[in-house]
Structure 1
Amino acid sequence: MVHLLEDSPLTAPLPAVVTELGRLFADAGHELSLVGGPVRDLFLGRSSPDLDFTTDADPDQIIAVIRRWSDAFWEIGREFGTIGLRKASFTIEVTTYRAEAYEPSSRKPVVAFGTNLEDDLLRRDFTINAMALRLPSLELVDPYGGVKDLHAGLLRTPGAPSSSFSDDPLRMMRAARFASQLGVEVAPEVRDAMTAMAERITIISAERVRDELIKLINGAHPRRGVDLMVSTGLADHVLPEVPALRLEMDEHHRHKDVYQHSLTVLEQACALETDDDGAVPAPDFALRFAALMHDVGKPATRRFEPTGAVSFRHHDVVGAKLTAKRMKTLRFDNDTIKAVARLVELHMRFYGYGEAGWTDSAVRRYVSDAGLQLERLHRLTRSDVTTRNRRKAERLAFAYDDLENRIAALAEQEELASIRPDLDGEDIMKLLGIRPGPVVGRAYRFLLEERMEHGPHTREAAESKLRVWWAGQPEAGDES
């Protein structure tokens, strides 16, 4: 199907660099088309600084055309036929027509260059990405019905789904990601192929899987994406802790559906992201992923008590360890791993406050233990309330309001975000006449505990407490 762009229901303007580059290639005797996501986004009213093009020119010919026009270019993807460049605020990739496939046991694609646009589009992942704009004529090339599928909210593959996923198994993750980002439904044949071929995702590198997972979690409808991964078995290989949440219910249904609860918490956490105050701007991966993973320790800790109740003791601590382990396997950076694991570990801490009033000391510890994750922890804890009992939900919300007010009140008096002892290491050594070593650390921890328990002291009071503590230490009589 080929028709003029002017006859198509586009809702976003076409950047001038697109037609400008098209004329350059045409003048050099080459074909050039805007392709894939940027074309799809034109119909969705979205613009992107990243533009993908395909051409009959080989990498050397591409460079010859863009060398003087681009602000900078690079050849990192040359072996795959791709030349990258930057023009103004746009990042651009121009790729020679190609077809690629994976060997059954390989993580790397085998690339073969093609000769025409239609064949190149056939190898694309989904029909909504298998559309192109010929340049500079602005003809829309849509041989597989991408526009129709986009308007129908349907995700299909240009060819047989099994062939598409065999060529690149990561496309199964992309299907789940598009379900999250665009809210599309996956065609039955695509779902069936994902289910039959889910294990093939294991040949893809952890880094590529991680990147798709981040995009999925940060999408507008992450619940859809996660549920698609779980229902097709893809999550069994990528994120097995999540499908494990589908605990077999006992005949008396003495605990809630942990899997559906976790998806609801994920949705509620997304709704609590705040762009207005900048505390947790949307989308926030750490908050969202912690919401999804917060109960992954429950399958390993579920116990049926003699009373008939079901318990999940220490599932927060177990869940934090499982989450950190999974994120390491997926090659997440250490800071993100620590942030998410900390949130999972602390997500139950508040319930002690709701059951019995906390001292100022307990509030300080809550803030100190949360550290930089405090704002996320506020939102995760509130999101974890999914009870249908309105009175219980209101009671928990009131209790957390009270805790936040307590934190705010103490913060006006103290620097809660960075609680430190009233004396530092140099002060300790000078006062006690000791050298650097383990004793200084013990003294520091004693003063920190005092600070947590009783709030800030005057310098004189802190020195007095330290002298009393020191008098009871075995090293007090040693040579300084």
Structure 2
Amino acid sequence: MDLVLDTSKFDPVVLELGRLFADAGFELSLVGGPVRDLFLGRTSPDLDFTTNATPDEILAVAKKWADSHWEMGREFGTIGFRKRNAAKEVLLIEVTTYRAEAYDPESRKPVVAFGRSLIDDLQRRDFSVNSMALRLPEMELIDPFGGAKDLAAGLLRTPGAAEDSFSDDPLRMMRGARFASQLGFSLHPDVLTAMKGMAERISIISAERVRDELVKLICGAHPRAGIDILVETGLADLVLPEIPALKLESDEHHRHKDVYQHSLQVLEQAASLETGPDGPVPGPDFVLRFAALMHDVGKPKTRRFETGGGVSFRHHDLAGAKLTAKRMRALRFDNDSIKAVSRLVELHMRFYGYGEAGWTDSAVRRYVTDAGPVLERLHRLTRSDVTTRNQKKADRLSFAYDDLEQRIAVLAEQEELDSIRPDLDGGAIMALLDIKPGRVVGRAYNFLLELRMERGPLGPEAAEAELRAWWAEQPESQPE
């Protein structure tokens, strides 16, 4: 593949900053991902620069030029700037002093040393495709480690020895899998060997940094490739052990499908069902994709070999939801994401009762209510979970789910399914029964909600009659 450095997307602000540093007697180069993206014809949202200026000198050169700045990365040599371009767009710019950094074997924090050489700075970067620089304002490409050649070949290779690179920053191993997902690149054999030998070193990296790389991997264009690398190298055993555990499900008698490969296929199929920005599930959607990957992680724990040679996984959906929530908490995910993903895992088997026997309107209402805000994702996860090669079976399940979605749509028009409430609220219940706030009000509310689920909207008068009949049977209503 022939690649051309496309500088047509260059914002004039970049050259303006380069001239500022040159006039002050300093070097400045655009570096890393933004240079790589120029070869790929893409515009990078952030602009990263490297210089021989110290943080104080960086501020002296650009502080007045920028609209604003921040110094949170000063200890690592980084000063950040915001600058509006001619189109009034806000550009985020980071300028970092040439540096070399290494991890102490027992520490999670890098030991930073500033340098004075662009080549040395490029050598300490993760992969050769990210070790290219564009010297400014001359627009001279600096590529001492063959990054452009590797980019054309779709290859991830480290600028120096892979073992040294991963020892300096073990998170680079996760980045290797992430770039395979995002860019569709393969790993150089030396990189793969080093990752296998050094996987355990990922344990010194904070859960938050691992989580961020995992999210980028899952949301990449080729997530299956990234997950395969994590599993093959042993990194998944440490950061996402529930996934390699699925490989145990391919037993020697082949009594059921390979759950690991099935889960990767479901992940791919779920990603293919994401929508555009105006649709109900804009892609890439981490919640849907991660639920697809994790939906069967409860199977190892629940596997039973039945009399007659069969295999069962009773309640693997519930077990999987608990395992998923536990793993996401360990990776420091936010509560909303944990709740959404684990809920999808918990509900992914619910539809199969519909496919086998059909549901009452009450069951459809419960399905919608239980899914709540993840209903659209649940539609896609359920459809993605069909990986059978039996076309008749696949068609039957697809037609059944088409029917379920149609029934949901009809009921939604009639009953506002996304916000099912009893026909009487708490205030009306207390006024009607002449009771004060407390547990009894909650019981009455739940009674009416169950009635609403079973019979649909009743109207205030019918609901009042039902509530009075219920109340007459409650011990609290009896005179003392």
Q: Is 1:283 equivalent to 2:284 in the alignment?
A: yes
Instruction: For residue 286 of structure 1, report the CA deviation from its aligned partner.
Output: 0.1
Residue equivalent to 1:334: 335
Say which of 69, 72, 80 aligns to 1:73.
69
Distance 1:11 1:220 in 2: 25
Cα shift readout 1:116-137 (whole Å, capped 9, x = no counterpart): 1000000000000000000000
Residue equivalent to 1:367: 368
Instruction: For residue 277 of structure 1, report the CA deviation from its aligned partner.
Output: 4.6
Instruction: For residue 100 of structure 1, report the CA deviation from its aligned partner.
Output: 0.4
Task: Give the direction of change, closer, same or farther, for the CA distance of 1:11–1:408 in structure 2 (3 Å limit).
Answer: farther
Q: Is 1:22 equivalent to 2:18 in the alignment?
A: yes
Distance 1:279 1:62 in 2: 45
Distance 2:11 2:157 in 1: 28
Show structure 1 runs of 5+ residues with no match.
1-6
Residue equivalent to 2:41: 45
Distance 1:331 1:157 in 2: 29
Distance 2:17 2:369 in 1: 55
Distance 1:381 1:253 in 2: 24
Cα shift readout 1:153-208 (whole Å, capped 9, x = no counterpart): 00000000000000000000000000000000000100000000001001000000
SS, match of residue 29 in structure 2: strand
CA contact (8 A) 1:12 1:45 kept: no
Residue equivalent to 1:102: 103
Task: Give the direction of change, closer, same or farther, for the CA distance of 1:103–1:276 in structure 2 (3 Å limit).
Answer: closer
Residue equivalent to 1:181: 182
CA contact (8 A) 1:12 1:47 kept: no
What is the alpha-carbon root mean square deviation over aligned residues? 1.1
CA contact (8 A) 1:320 1:344 kept: yes
Residue equivalent to 1:32: 28
Distance 1:341 1:460 in 2: 39
Distance 2:344 2:355 in 1: 18
SS, match of residue 105 in structure 1: coil
Greater CA deviation, 319-328 or 8-17? 8-17
Residue equivalent to 1:13: 9
SS, match of residue 333 in structure 2: coil
Q: Is 1:321 equivalent to 2:322 in the alignment?
A: yes
**Counterpart amino acid of 1:82?**
T
CA contact (8 A) 1:99 1:123 kept: yes
Distance 2:455 2:4 in 1: 69
Aligned length: 473
Distance 1:476 1:395 in 2: 52
Percent of residue pairs bearing the same amino acid type? 76
Residue equivalent to 1:257: 258
Distance 1:234 1:223 in 2: 15
Residue equivalent to 1:111: 112
Instruction: For residue 20 of structure 1, report the CA deviation from its aligned partner.
Output: 0.6
CA contact (8 A) 1:265 1:292 kept: yes
Cα shift readout 1:245-273 (whole Å, capped 9, x = no counterpart): 00253333111000000000000000000
Show structure 2 runs of 5+ residues with no match.
85-89
Q: Is 1:430 equivalent to 2:413 in the alignment?
A: no
Say which of 50, 54, 58 aligns to 1:54.
50
Following TM superposition, the consecutive aligned residue runs of length 4 or more in structure 1 with deviations greater than 4 angstroms are none
Q: For residues 285-300 of structure 1, what are the structure 2 equivalents within 5 Å? A: 285-300=286-301
CA contact (8 A) 2:68 2:82 kept: yes
Instruction: For residue 382 of structure 1, report the CA deviation from its aligned partner.
Output: 0.1
Normalized against structure 1, the TM-score is what?
A: 0.97
Q: For residues 70-469 of structure 1, what are the structure 2 equivalents within 5 Å? A: 70-88=66-84, 89-275=90-276, 277-469=278-470
Instruction: For residue 291 of structure 1, report the CA deviation from its aligned partner.
Output: 0.2
Instruction: For residue 17 of structure 1, report the CA deviation from its aligned partner.
Output: 1.2
Instruction: For residue 276 of structure 1, report the CA deviation from its aligned partner.
Output: 6.4
SS, match of residue 328 in structure 2: helix
Cα shift readout 1:183-237 (whole Å, capped 9, x = no counterpart): 0000010000000000100100000000000000000000000110001000000
Instruction: For residue 12 of structure 1, report the CA deviation from its aligned partner.
Output: 5.3
Task: Give the direction of change, closer, same or farther, for the CA distance of 1:152–1:219 in structure 2 (3 Å limit).
Answer: same
**Counterpart amino acid of 2:50?**
T
CA contact (8 A) 2:5 2:38 kept: no
Distance 1:227 1:78 in 2: 37
Distance 1:152 1:184 in 2: 8
CA contact (8 A) 1:100 1:110 kept: yes
SS, match of residue 141 in structure 2: strand
Residue equivalent to 1:4: none
**Counterpart amino acid of 2:280?**
A
Distance 2:383 2:344 in 1: 13
SS, match of residue 375 in structure 2: helix
Distance 1:91 1:478 in 2: 72
CA contact (8 A) 1:12 1:44 kept: no
